[in-house]
A and B are shown apart, each in its own frame.
Chain A
Amino acid sequence: MEYFLEQLINGITLGSIYGLIAIGYTMVYGIIGMINFAHGDIFMIGAMISLIAILAIGLTASASFALLLLALILVLAIAMILASAFNWTVERVAYKPLRGSFRLAPLISAIGMSIVLQEFARIAQGGRPKPMQPLLSGGFELMHRTTEAGEFIVRISTIQIIIIVTTLALMALFTALITRTSLGRAQRSCEQDMKMASLLGIDVNKTISITFIMGASLAAVAGLMFFLRYGVIDFYIGFLAGVKAFTAAVLGGIGSIPGAMLGGLVIGLIEVFWSAYFSVEYKDVAAFAMLAVVLIFLPQGLLGKPEVEKV
C-alpha cells in the first residue's frame, strides 16, 4: 500500500512533466495539423538553458529556501523566453514556408529540425550527460507506519510539490487563456477553419507563431522541472520525452488541452507502475505499446472529438 502510494506520487510528477510537453504538441496539431517533431528537442533546449542559467547565477543548494525559489522563478523566466525564441525561429525557418506544401513535407522538415537542434546542443554542450547536485532537498512524510515487516514511510519531496503545483497553476492559466481571451478565441477559430478565420480579420500567421511560443514556454517549464527532479540531462532526453508526450497527446485526444494533461498523467503512471511492478528495462516499451493500442482502439483519444474525413 505504501509502496503503491509512493509510486502514485512519482507517477503523477512524471505525468505532469509529460503533460506540459504534450500541450505543445496538441496545440500545434490542433491549429496546423502537423506533428511538431522538434518539440521534444525544444524541451531539451529548455532543460539545457535552465542548467546553464542556474550555473550562471551561481545557484547552490546552500542558499535559503526563499532565495532559491526566487532564483528558480528567474531561471524559469529565462528558459521560457529563450526556448520560445528557439521554437519561433524553428517555425519561421522550417514550417511556415511549407504551409500548403504536400502532406509529408512539414513532418520531414520537422524531423530535420529535430536533428539540427539535437546536434546543435551536442556540438555546443558536449555529448556527456550533465549531472548536478540536487538543489532542493527535503520533503514531507505523508504516512509513517511500523509493522512487523519493518518501517513504511511515504514521502513527498519539495520538488514533487513544486512540480505538481506549478503544473496545476499553468493548466488553470492556459485554460483561462484559451477560453477567456481574444487570443484564445483567435486560436480556436484558426483551429476550426484557418481560411475563414483569416477572412474575418484574424492574423493567422501571428496566431500560429504565438501558439508555437506558448508551446515552447510550457516545454521549457517541463525542462526545468525535469532537470530539478532527475538532476541529470543530456542532449538526447528530448527524443524519448517527445515521443512519450506525443503519445500522451494522442491518448488524451489530439487538439484537446485537458486531454493532453490527462494523457500525460496516464502515460506517467503507466511508466512508473510498470517499472515498479514489472521491469525497469521495458518501461519505454510499455509506453510505446500504449501508443499503438490507443491508436487502434481509441483513435480519437479520451477527450477528443472523432475526426471526420472530408473529401
Chain B
Amino acid sequence: MALAPQPTQQGGARAARSPTVPPGDQKRLLIDLLLTGLIASAIFGPIVGMSATAPQGGLVLQYRWGTVFWLVAAVVIGRLLLHLFVWNRPDWVKPIHVKRLGAGLVAIGTLALLLGLFVFDAPWFDAVGIFGLIAGAWFYISSSNETAAERGAPSPLAHAIEPLGKYLGIALLLIAIALPFIPGVDRRIVDLAILMLTYVMLGWGLNIVVGLAGLLDLGYVAFYAVGAYAYALLSTIYFPLWFGDGITPWAFWLVLPLAGLLAACWGLILGFPVLRLRGDYLAIVTLAFGEIIRIILINWYDFTGGPNGISDIPRPSFFGIPFTNDENGFAATFGLAYSPLQRIIFLYYVILVLALITNFVTLRLRKLPIGRAWEALREDEIACRSLGINTTNTKLTAFAIGAMFGGFAGSFFATRQGFVSPESFVFMESAIILAIVVLGGLGSQIGVVVAAIAVIGAFELFRELDFLKAIMPEGFDPTQYRMLAVGIAMVLIMRWRPRGLVTKRDPSIYLKEKKAVSADLVAQGHG
C-alpha cells in the first residue's frame, strides 16, 4: 500500500537502500511495525471504518471494521516484507538479480494478463497478471535505479529504450495507420484508439509547455474547452447564421484553424500576466484560470447553454460528403456498401493526422532557435536571461502553441461527441493529461504515446477486472478506483523516476558532442 511510511531517500536514487532499522534488531523492528500499524489505523480507521450514509434523510454511521483490519494488515505486512527483503537485503543478492526478477515477473504478468483477457475466461489469470506486472515493474525500476547508480549511468531504462525509440516510433505509426483494417478490430477498439489518440495529442500539446519550456500548466483543459466550445458554437449557431445552412458540412474544416487560433489567443491572454511568476505560482494561476473558464461556461447561460451544454453539433463530413446512407452519402459516392463504421474510421484518421501534425511541428520547433530557447529556459531561467534570451516571448510562444494544439483537440472532441458540456472540462481532466506527460517523461515524444496508451488502456482494463469482483465483497466496482490509481502512479513515478518512465533529457542541439545531463546534476530549486 502506498500510504505506508517509507524510509528517507536523501540524495535521490543513490540511497535506495537505507534501512531505518538495522538488520537483526528484533525489538526495534517490532516497535517500527507497531507504529506503522497505529498510523495506518489512524488513517483508515475513521474514514474507511465508519461510513456516514443517509439512507432515510438523516446521516447514520455504517461500520466496516473488517475492511479496516485488512487494510492495516496489508500495510504492516507490506512494511515487514520491505524490511526483510528490500531494505535489509542479503548481500549475495545483487541489484541485477532483482532487475532480472522484475523483468521476468513483468513478462509472466503480461502473458497471464493477455491469456486471461483474450484466451481463457478465468479471473485468476487476470489477478496473477496484474500483480505480476505491478510487482515486476516495481522490482525492475527500483533495481535499475540502483544498478545505474553503481555504474554511474544517467538513466538505464531510457538507455535501453533509446536505440529502440526510432523503431518503436515507426512500428507504432505503422500499427496506427493499419489499425482499422486489421482483422478482428471492431468499433469498440477503434473508439478506444480514437480516445487514446486524443490524449496523445493533448499530451503532446501539453508537453510543449511542461516538458519543453518547463512551465507547469494545470489549466490545460481550459484550452481544450475553448476549442470544443468554439466549434460547438460556430457550427451550430453562427456559421448557419452568417453563411446559410450549406456551410454545415464544411464547418469542421473551417472552424478547426479558428479554434486553434482562439485557443492560442487565450494562451496569450493567460500567459501575459503570469510570465513573471515562478514555476509553482504559475501552476496555481493556470489552475485558477482553468476553473474560471469552467465557471463561466456553467453560468453564462445565454451563450454557452450553461450546465446543459450544446447538443446536435454537426458530425464531420468527408470534405463535404456526409456519412449518410443515401445517394449523396460517402458510401454511395465511392461505390461502397454503407456502414456506420466508415464515419468512425474517418474520425480515427482525422485525429491520427492531427496528432501527427502536433508531433511533427514539435519536433521541428525543437530544432529552431525558439525550441532551443524553451529547453534552455527549462534548465535555467536566470542563465537564459543573462544570455540575452527574451524569456517573455519564449514563454508566450510556448503557451500559445501548446494552447493551439489543445484547441485543435477540443474541436475534434466536440465533433466526435456531438455534444459538449462543462462537465468534460474539470480539473481531473487536466490532471490526467499532466499525468500522461509526467509518466512519459517530461519532454519525451514517444514517452507521451506510451504513457497515453498505458493510462487510457489501464482505464479500460479496470472495467475488465472481473477477478477483483470475484475476490472482493459484493458491490465492488473496480472503475471507481481509476483516479486513485492515477494519483498513486503520479506519486510513485516522482519517487522512483522523476523524469518519467521513458526519459529524454538530452538537449536537441548540442555543441561538438552529446553530453548527457543527468537529472541529479541539474540545478535544484532554481528558476
- Using a CB–CB cutoff of 8 Å, the interface residues on chain A facing chain B are 33-35, 45, 48-49, 51-53, 55-56, 81-82, 85-86, 88-89, 92-94, 96-109, 111-116, 118-121, 123-126, 128, 130-133, 205, 239-240, 243, 246-247, 250, 281-282, 284-285, 288-289, 291-292, 295-296, 299, 309, 311
B12 to chain A, nearest CB (A): 6
- With A93-B2, A109-B490, A281-B295: A309-B382 Cβ-Cβ less than 8 Å: yes
Measured between beta carbons, the chain B residues less than 8 angstroms from A101 are 12, 494, 498, 519, 524
- With A111-B218, A292-B273: A119-B483 Cβ-Cβ less than 8 Å: yes
Does B214 touch A at the CB level, under 8 Å? yes
Q: Which of B296, B431, B524 meets A111, CB within 8 Å?
A: B431
Measured between beta carbons, the chain B residues less than 8 angstroms from A240 are 291
Measured between beta carbons, the chain A residues less than 8 angstroms from B210 are 104
Complex contact A85–B43 (CB within 8 A): yes
- For the complex, what is the distance from the CA of A250 to the CA of B282, rounded to whole Å? 12
Complex contact B47–A292 (CB within 8 A): no
Measured between beta carbons, the chain A residues less than 8 angstroms from B58 are 133
Measured between beta carbons, the chain A residues less than 8 angstroms from B46 are 48-49, 52-53, 82
Does B289 touch A at the CB level, under 8 Å? yes
Interface centre among B3, B281, B427, B491 (most CB of A within 10 A): B491
Not counting A112-B490, A119-B487, A243-B288, a sample of 20 additional A-B residue pairs whose C-beta atoms are within 8 angstroms of each other reads: A49-B47, A55-B52, A93-B6, A94-B491, A103-B524, A104-B214, A111-B434, A113-B487, A115-B490, A118-B483, A119-B484, A124-B51, A128-B54, A130-B52, A130-B54, A205-B8, A282-B299, A291-B288, A292-B288, A296-B273
The contact sample of 28 A-B pairs, CB cut-off 8 A, is A35-B284, A51-B52, A88-B39, A97-B9, A98-B495, A102-B498, A104-B279, A105-B498, A107-B279, A111-B490, A112-B491, A119-B481, A119-B484, A124-B51, A243-B284, A243-B287, A247-B284, A282-B296, A284-B291, A285-B292, A288-B291, A289-B292, A291-B284, A291-B288, A295-B281, A296-B273, A296-B274, A299-B277
- For the complex, what is the distance from the CA of A132 to the CA of B52, rounded to whole Å? 11
Measured between beta carbons, the chain A residues less than 8 angstroms from B6 are 92-93, 97
Write the chain A residue with the least CB distance to B527.
Answer: A309
Q: Number of B residues whose C-beta is below 8 Å from A? A: 76
- Using a CB–CB cutoff of 8 Å, the interface residues on chain B facing chain A are 2-6, 8-12, 39, 42-43, 46-48, 50-54, 58-61, 210, 214, 216, 218, 273-274, 276-277, 279-281, 283-285, 287-289, 291-292, 295-296, 298-299, 382, 427-428, 431, 434-435, 438, 442, 480-481, 483-484, 486-491, 494-495, 498-499, 519, 522, 524-527
Measured between beta carbons, the chain A residues less than 8 angstroms from B442 are 104
Measured between beta carbons, the chain A residues less than 8 angstroms from B60 are 55
B489 to chain A, nearest CB (A): 7
| Top 9 A-B pairs, shortest CB-CB distance | A112-B490, A115-B487, A116-B487, A288-B288, A109-B494, A119-B484, A85-B42, A281-B299, A112-B491
Complex contact A107–B283 (CB within 8 A): yes
A178 to chain B, nearest CB (A): 23
Measured between beta carbons, the chain A residues less than 8 angstroms from B427 are 239
Q: Which of B48, B494, B524 meets A108, CB within 8 Å?
A: B494
Measured between beta carbons, the chain A residues less than 8 angstroms from B435 are 112
Measured between beta carbons, the chain B residues less than 8 angstroms from A112 are 435, 486-491, 494
- With A55-B50, A243-B284, A281-B299: A100-B5 Cβ-Cβ less than 8 Å: no
Complex contact A100–B12 (CB within 8 A): yes
B380 to chain A, nearest CB (A): 9
Measured between beta carbons, the chain B residues less than 8 angstroms from A85 are 39, 42-43
Main secondary structure of the interface of A (DSSP, over half): helix
Q: Which of B8, B214, B488 meets A97, CB within 8 Å?
A: B8
Complex contact B2–A116 (CB within 8 A): yes
Q: Which of A45, A96, A128, A205 meets B47, CB within 8 Å?
A: A45
Complex contact B295–A107 (CB within 8 A): no
- For the complex, what is the distance from the CA of A311 to the CA of B223, rounded to whole Å? 34
Write the chain B residue with the least CB distance to A98.
Answer: B494
B491 to chain A, nearest CB (A): 4
- For the complex, what is the distance from the CA of A247 to the CA of B287, rounded to whole Å? 12
Complex contact A284–B491 (CB within 8 A): no
Complex contact A102–B522 (CB within 8 A): yes
Measured between beta carbons, the chain B residues less than 8 angstroms from A49 are 46-47
Complex contact B280–A34 (CB within 8 A): yes
B371 to chain A, nearest CB (A): 19
Complex contact A299–B276 (CB within 8 A): yes
A63 to chain B, nearest CB (A): 16
Complex contact A121–B47 (CB within 8 A): yes
Complex contact A123–B484 (CB within 8 A): yes
Write the chain A residue with the least CB distance to B288.
Answer: A288
Measured between beta carbons, the chain B residues less than 8 angstroms from A34 are 280
Measured between beta carbons, the chain A residues less than 8 angstroms from B53 are 126
Complex contact A311–B382 (CB within 8 A): yes
Measured between beta carbons, the chain B residues less than 8 angstroms from A124 are 47-48, 51
Complex contact B295–A102 (CB within 8 A): no
- For the complex, what is the distance from the CA of A100 to the CA of B13, rounded to whole Å? 11
